[in-house]
Structure 1
Amino acid sequence: MLSYLRAGRPVPESELEPGPGLPLRGRLIALHGVTDSAASPCGIAEHFGDQWDVLLVDHLGHGLSPRLSPAQLEDPIQAMVEAVEQLLEALNLPAAPTLLWGHSMGGAVAAHLAVRHPEWFTALVLEDPALLTDSQYQQYRQAGTRELTEFQRADLPAAISRLTSAYPHWSSAEVAGWAQGKAQVDLEFLATGIVGELDPSLRLLDQLQVPTLLLTGDAPDVLIGPNRLADAPAHVQTVLIPQASHTVRRDQPGAVYAAVEAFIPSWTNLLPSPLASGSSEAELRR
């Protein structure tokens, strides 16, 4: 089973009551990008943990989760989708309004999960998801072996120094999560170069049935960016975060959290009072 971190305020097992302090709003599940880990989206837990039950998941081949088998390496994205699916089924979490958040590769996995199980999730946040154009997909595939060699030779302290120089706004906790992920990633997976879904026209988003927010930046390394936002279907809300790279939230956390907080009422207003006592499992999505 996948490894994960639990933060915030757990949803009670029975009699879903707000309890002391701020009202409990629901559950937030965060899926990280390639070479990251469950520690990488620590800022999400810090920001939302006072009102949310936060679950941070290690993908297959990342963090402390199992490595990918040879068969899984043939289609690692679908293997990751199935692994998260199996984790959530095994945890059998108490019913609650659930926000699924995926960055990059995790965004592709999250989109597939939301399409396969719309009854599990109340809403979806896709942070520059790895729904790739033909050129992006081929670029990553061709870079796989080279990146494997670079990782094997990497000087992690030097890499951290370069990172903090290039991204001075990242918090120390985000830097630590980034470094932890790099030290733990499955190099056989990295060598495949399969880090996302080939989806030039964002057709996967057409299949979504849950309220969805698509976030991207305007730096040269973004996967969606301003040029591809027009391909998003009308039912998907889109927000362009200025001066943000592919790591949108890490670069501009204030703007990203503000966009997500503004998005949340668009679907919470359609629900019964979050975690209201007496609501049945059928009334509250997983």
Structure 2
Amino acid sequence: MFGVRGRTAHLAWYRTDEAPAEVLFLHGFSDSAQCWEPVIRAMPGIRALAIDARGHGESGLPDEPVRYEAHRDDAALVLSSQPQDGGIVVVGHSMGAMAAAHLAASRPDLVRAVVLEDPPTGTPGDRSDQPWSEPNWLAEVRALDLPSRIAKGRSNDPDWPDDELEPWAVSKAQVNPHLFDLTFRDAGPLTDLLAEITCPVLLIHGDTERGSLISTEYADRCAQVAAGEFRAAHIAGAGHSVRRDKRPQYLAELTAFLDRYR
């Protein structure tokens, strides 16, 4: 799937081929760049670039506080090392979506348009570095061998396509445990970032009762404050991993957006 692999500083990255990438994919917490392969495979001909976030996949982990601004700067660092063909469309999920929003807000020279799959809404007010710990669910999954992790994923989310399960399971064992020795700074409000983003934005979310972080009411708030062209796509029946829960509907939204802006 990824024909070109490389490193920039502490970051591992992957491209579909040697040509300049049209779309950058940023994964969510505890996932890896390989978790995007099922979606990329479903869009033949797309020239994609994906990055393992710091402490994830095959990327290193700088000894500094964990914050979305660092993920933003990591993405900018990798993009600056790549062959360029104008701005790129950035697609992010969860943690990666917030990193994508930060990147679009601060580096409009790099970002042509942005797709946010169920980002966190952020925390209002002053933010401070706080200690954090490995989530119990992740520790339990990491303690299993690969076949058991795949079986756990299938049990937890029986409606996910089969090709999602192995990359999901592999990525969990790749999370650097030292990540949880570092302090974490939560995101500021997503609405504040959207007020600074002037490029087109597609916000994709599911149902909060299924685990989506974005409600239709919050999506409406986002539309009201967005500085540029904005569209919210609610995919009924999906939870936090919209593309895994409802792949055909997710692909329809993503493909239409990419056809217009990449």
Task: Please give the TM-score of this superposition, normalised by the length of structure 2.
Answer: 0.82
Greater shift after overlay, 246-255 or 234-243? Answer: 234-243
Counterpart among 80, 85, 94 of residue 89 in structure 1: 80
Displacement of 1:262: 2.7
Displacement of 1:142: 6.2
Identify if the C-alpha distance between structure 1 residues 36 and 161 changes in structure 2 by more than 3 Å, giving closer, same or farther: same
Q: Does 1:175 find its partner at 2:153?
A: no
Partner Cα distance (1:195, 1:133) in 2:
10
Partner Cα distance (1:60, 1:202) in 2:
25
Matches within 5 A, 1:102-181: 102-133=92-123, 144=134, 146=136, 149-150=139-140, 153-154=143-144, 156-181=146-171
Displacement of 1:159: 3.4
Displacement of 1:261: 2.4
Displacement of 1:237: 0.6
Partner Cα distance (2:180, 2:119) in 1:
18
| One-letter identity of the residue aligned with 1:226 | T
Counterpart among 23, 30, 42 of residue 37 in structure 2: 42
Matches within 5 A, 1:113-262: 113-133=103-123, 144=134, 146=136, 149-150=139-140, 153-154=143-144, 156-190=146-180, 194=184, 197-199=187-189, 202-218=191-207, 219-234=209-224, 235-262=229-256
Deviations, residues 121-161 of structure 1 (Å, cap 9, x unaligned): 21110000123357xx9xx9766464675466445533322
Identify if the C-alpha distance between structure 1 residues 5 and 172 changes in structure 2 by more than 3 Å, giving closer, same or farther: farther
SS of equivalent to 1:102: strand
Which structure has the greater CA radius of gyration? 1
SS of equivalent to 2:233: strand
Partner Cα distance (2:232, 2:169) in 1:
30
Deviations, residues 36-62 of structure 1 (Å, cap 9, x unaligned): 001011122112241x21111101110
Partner Cα distance (1:239, 1:99) in 2:
17
Greater shift after overlay, 102-111 or 152-161? Answer: 152-161
Matches within 5 A, 1:12-51: 27-50=22-45
Partner Cα distance (2:151, 2:217) in 1:
32
Partner residue in 1 for 2:68: 77
Partner residue in 1 for 2:3: none
Q: CA RMSD in A?
A: 2.8
SS of equivalent to 1:40: helix
Task: Please give the TM-score of this superposition, normalised by the length of structure 1.
Answer: 0.75
Partner Cα distance (1:244, 1:224) in 2:
11
Partner Cα distance (2:150, 2:80) in 1:
37
Partner Cα distance (2:30, 2:155) in 1:
20
The answer on whether the counterparts of 1:5 and 1:56 sit within 8 Å (CA) in structure 2 is yes
Partner Cα distance (2:136, 2:254) in 1:
36
Displacement of 1:193: 7.9
The answer on whether the counterparts of 1:143 and 1:193 sit within 8 Å (CA) in structure 2 is no
Deviations, residues 68-124 of structure 1 (Å, cap 9, x unaligned): 31x2xx243222221111111122x13145211000000000001111111212111
Q: How many residues align?
A: 245
Greater shift after overlay, 113-122 or 150-159? Answer: 150-159
Partner Cα distance (1:192, 1:169) in 2:
35
Displacement of 1:254: 0.6
State the percentage of identical aligned residues: 28
The answer on whether the counterparts of 1:144 and 1:191 sit within 8 Å (CA) in structure 2 is no
SS of equivalent to 2:34: coil
Displacement of 1:191: 5.6
Identify if the C-alpha distance between structure 1 residues 230 and 190 changes in structure 2 by more than 3 Å, giving closer, same or farther: farther
Greater shift after overlay, 125-134 or 149-158? Answer: 149-158
